[in-house]
Amino acid sequence: MTERKSVLITGASAGIGAATAVLAAAQGYNVGIGYRSDEKGAREVAKRAHALGAKTVLLQGDMAVEADILRIFTQCDTALGPLYGLVNNAGIVDTTQRVEDMSRVRLEQMFMVNTVGVIQCAQHAVKRMAKRYGGVGGCIVNISSVAARTGSAGQYVDYAASKAAVDIFTTGLAQENAREGIRVNAVRPGITRTQIHAKGGEPGREDALAHLIPMGRAGEATEIAEAILFLLSEKASYMTGAILDVGGGR
């Protein structure tokens, strides 16, 4: 890659987002590192990406807050120039609970971050990338979950539903922008070794559920990042509307 293109990654202070940011830097991208509250983690990711030659910018914002989303895109424009790629990675999960016990507050937060935030980030990306807005195209990769297929019954059906919405949004957005030079795809990670379950009150969940995975182990964040970077690359130039399962066979 002769000239570094710019990629904005939400939820990039840890886990899959952090691994994606570092790999993107290694593959020649400049990186906007989105985060909500883990500034220390975001700075560490930026340090690693910078060591690989990338220009970086820290982008603090809550994906449930519309004004924050607008601000991070504006800041990314200023720091990194034209946007080539968006990785819609930020997401939350909550504690295990049956559907009938889930509060309205929980449901609203789940969908605001995992679904509405994804859609609004994509809106801002399209307005920068689409030919009809004077853009030159680009790529959007939405991070879904294998839970969108399995349903997560007895655990967090709300999370699964919020990710299933991301899947169909990916399909529709890809079709809507196929002639605008924008490719839109998604990755569905399976059980992956990150901190998301610990933050949701279930540390060690990855190992506890490893027996459900045909490959017999949880995935690593770097393995998910490889799929994301493939979809951002020219190697996936004829792929749009695709949803890649990276779940060890589950």
Residue 224: its H or E element:
helix 221-232
* DSSP character at residue 116: I
Choosing from 29, 35, 84, 159, the catalytic residue is: 159
User: For the purposes of burial, counting CB atoms within 10 Å of the CB of 37, is it exposed (0-12), middle (13-18) or buried (19 or more)?
Assistant: exposed
Q: For residue 159, indicate whether it is catalytic.
A: yes
Could you tell me which residues are beta bridge partners of residue 8? Answer: 32, 86
Q: What amino acid is encoded at 50 in this protein?
A: H
Alpha-carbon distances of 180 from 86, 98, 164, rounded to whole Å: 15, 42, 25
Helix-helix angle 117-129:157-176, to 10 degrees? 20
Q: Which residues are part of the catalytic machinery?
A: 159
